[in-house]
Amino acid sequence: MDLSITYEKNFGTWTLSPYLQIFNIGNRKNLWFVLYENEYKDNVLVQTVKEVNMLPILPSLGVTIKF
């Protein structure tokens, strides 16, 4: 789930819109992909599995200017 807040202010013929966005506001561990690695230890094949998750909580600030 994401959250976005925008404020819009008009200045004659142009508009200024600062915003705050927060991605993954619930901090869910959404799986992106699974990485499998094989290596030999003492002539025995050992496979390790690593789960790689998507974005953590990620805030973003910005400004949109329309003219």
CA distance 42 to 46: 10
Is the pTM higher than 0.85? The answer reads no
Q: Partners of 67 in the beta sheet?
A: none
Return the amino acid letter for 33.
F
Break the chain into its structural domains and give their ranges.
Answer: 3-66
Residue 66 is predicted with a pLDDT of 97
pLDDT tens for 13-67 read: 999 999 999 999 999 999 999 999 999 999 999 999 999 999 999 999 999 999 9
